[in-house]
Structure 1
Amino acid sequence: MAQSSYVTQEDVLFFRENGYWVSPKLFSESELEEMIEHQEKIYRAEYELGREPWSTWKAGDNPRSLRKTDNAHWSDPVLRRVATHPVIGEIAARLMNADKIALWHDQLLYKPGRADRRHTANVGWHQDYVYWQCCAEPSLVTAWVAFTDVDLSNGCMQVVPGSHKWGLIKVNDFFEQNLEKQQEQMELPDGQAFRPVPLVMKAGQVSFHHALTIHGSGPNTTDSPRRSMAVHLMTGDTRYRSGTPAEGHMNVKLLNGRDGDLFEGEPFPVLYPASVR
């Protein structure tokens, strides 16, 4: 297991109790400028590595919608360095008590500014694992890299502490815009309360949340876009489970395996340990 200099034992205990943790700043200002520049290249369909992402926002799509690009690391060397960053892998290994961390997939995210009543670009309350039930266990964690400063004014992520211990909750929808309605419809375990915590972060910080942690985000009411990348990671013992509602997930297609097979190989780069990259 990793012994990251960025993570104390108290941090590990916090993550295990609350299902999330926020790192110190991991990326410099010059790195962030380069990341934003290459995010824009993706939107202009300039793919330096010669391969399109799995899916992406394209010019002509709704400019007020949330832009979500899956597997930008296929297309761009700078964004690939972010998605396979060894320090992110090292931290994830420590938090998940894992000997190996590999990339599940990445999502490049852009939340446009100046939200209005019709166009909010919210992210509905959800647990990542509801979309990843093709994995036999929720042995996954997301590292959310802030390219810009984030707070409630521009739609920072909000998490529900301790919700990773509740199992799958009835209401899960990444694309739902009415967060209040979702909250009203949730069926929580007895004795539990829905109390979201906003993750206010500086550009270059990285938040980590467990695959069962409930999270979402509200509108960006500022004049500037909120930019980030969600780096979805898995432990080395993550195995394929067939016949689930997530059978259509792209990683099932990329694995092309049998029930019980490990998700491993070229489509799933290893971040930790660095010696096997």
Structure 2
Amino acid sequence: MSVSLEAKSKIGYSFGFGVQQGISSPKHAYKFGGVPGTAPHIYNPVRSSKPKTNFRFTLDETSTGKLTTRQREFYEENGFLVIPNLIPDNLIDESRQRFLDLVNRKVDAGSILLMKDLSLKDKKGLPNERIYNKIQDFVWDEVLSKYVCLPELLDYVQCFTGKDIRAVHSMLINKPPDVGTKTSRHPLHQDLHYFPFRPADRIVAAWTAMEHIDDNNGCLVVQPGTHKGVLEQHDYPDWEAGVNKMYHGIRGAENNPRVHLHMEKGDTVFFHPLIIHGSGANVSNNFRKAISCHYSTSDIEYIDVKGTSQENIAKEVEDIAARKGVVMDFVDLWEFRSRDVRGKKAESHL
């Protein structure tokens, strides 16, 4: 994970992970050459004028002994928090091999969704790793679920969700080297746009780098503090070469200051479902892989998205499922793809 020593007061927070963009860079800012192992771990504590005693986005009961007050203050103000070296190498390597086995049809994918990059979906003679840019919904897979259910990961997740945890959405993103179309980008968006359940403050994403990640291979970017806002209107961006299916974005969000998260293998960022984030094009010669899972409290409440800004994504998801022979409404599809992984409901499945 890398940090730039910017004039942090301009962006409204006193420490951060990543390289700030959209504001001037001082001469002493770190420079990154895309070399694994060069993302320094720097952690400067929040120095609030008044110590916080009430937290909205993390829970006292489950944060004690896991998150420091400074970490909680940082998440409270910025909506994201990076924990270095959280996921062991052997699990990441096993997950990488499972991805390859799935896209190469060496194992049955079952209900796991395999997604192709827009620019490559009709190409012939390419290796499957080059064509498939994402797999998702693997909470029940015998290999990839090891990440979803990893106790060391859930110990952090429960700081945000509470002790009863549901895994609601799992992905392994395989960002391919861009062929010049920039379709490897992911537009700036809020994850809550895709979720027909609440409360938003008891939802969190865990996103883990499976290798060194920086600007060259399309690192994650976040806009600090936007988790305190509202759910914005999302649409497909007007990109010349098109955009991958279901990659909705917020028009105009690219004009806001942002932080680029340079991460090392095993580093994990936790972020709120309302924080605006995305990723750039992979201009390196190698694939960029990351594995992630969204979690919520097991006591979520489903909402009717009809007539809201989420109605467009609901219809799109239902149509895609129907073309695959699965006829369910938006809420039922989310129920189907989720799994309780800790707490009373998880224990009842054993």
TM-score, length-scaled by structure 1: 0.79
Is contact 1:126-1:174 (8 Å) kept? no
1:237 aligned onto 2:308: no
Shift in Å at residue 265 of structure 1?
9.0
Match 2:167 to one of 99, 103, 111: 103
Match 2:264 to one of 187, 197, 202: 202
The separation in 2 between residues aligned to 1:175 and 1:91, in whole angstroms, is 37
Shift in Å at residue 186 of structure 1?
2.7
Matches within 5 A, 1:227-266: 227-244=289-306, 245=311, 247-248=314-315, 253=329, 256=332
- Residue of structure 1 in register with 2:339 after alignment: 268
Which range moves more in the overlay, 62-71 or 194-203?
62-71
- Residue of structure 2 in register with 1:30 after alignment: 90
Change (3 A) 1:173 1:212: farther
Match 2:135 to one of 69, 84, 102: 69
Matches within 5 A, 1:147-166: 147-166=210-229
The separation in 2 between residues aligned to 1:239 and 1:211, in whole angstroms, is 15
1:89 aligned onto 2:151: no
Question: Structure 2 unaligned runs (5+)?
Answer: 1-60, 244-248, 322-327
- Of all paired residues, the percent bearing the same amino acid is 24
Shift in Å at residue 97 of structure 1?
5.6
Give CA deviations for 1:76-113 in whole Å, capped at 9, x if unaligned.
Answer: 4221101222222221221x262322100201110012
Matched length: 259
The separation in 1 between residues aligned to 2:104 and 2:83, in whole angstroms, is 31
Which structure's CA Rg is the greater one?
2
Shift in Å at residue 121 of structure 1?
0.6
1:56 aligned onto 2:111: no
Change (3 A) 1:172 1:230: farther
The separation in 2 between residues aligned to 1:172 and 1:7, in whole angstroms, is 36
- Residue of structure 2 in register with 1:260 after alignment: none
The separation in 2 between residues aligned to 1:28 and 1:88, in whole angstroms, is 11
Change (3 A) 1:221 1:266: closer
The separation in 1 between residues aligned to 2:226 and 2:163, in whole angstroms, is 25
Give CA deviations for 1:118-174 in whole Å, capped at 9, x if unaligned.
Answer: 244100110001111x11432321101111111111101000000011111234559
Matches within 5 A, 1:77-226: 77-94=142-159, 96=160, 98-113=162-177, 115-132=178-195, 134-138=196-200, 139-171=202-234, 173=236, 185-186=251-252, 194-226=256-288
Change (3 A) 1:174 1:275: farther
- Secondary structure at the residue paired with 1:40? helix
Shift in Å at residue 117 of structure 1?
2.8
Question: Structure 1 unaligned runs (5+)?
Answer: 258-262
The separation in 2 between residues aligned to 1:51 and 1:187, in whole angstroms, is 36
Is contact 1:4-1:91 (8 Å) kept? no
Shift in Å at residue 255 of structure 1?
6.2
Shift in Å at residue 17 of structure 1?
1.1
The separation in 1 between residues aligned to 2:267 and 2:256, in whole angstroms, is 25
Shift in Å at residue 51 of structure 1?
5.0
- Secondary structure at the residue paired with 1:25? coil
Q: Which has the higher contact order (CA 8 A, sep 6+)?
A: 1
- Residue of structure 2 in register with 1:9 after alignment: 69
Residue 142 of structure 1 aligns with an amino acid whose one-letter code is A
Is contact 1:123-1:174 (8 Å) kept? no
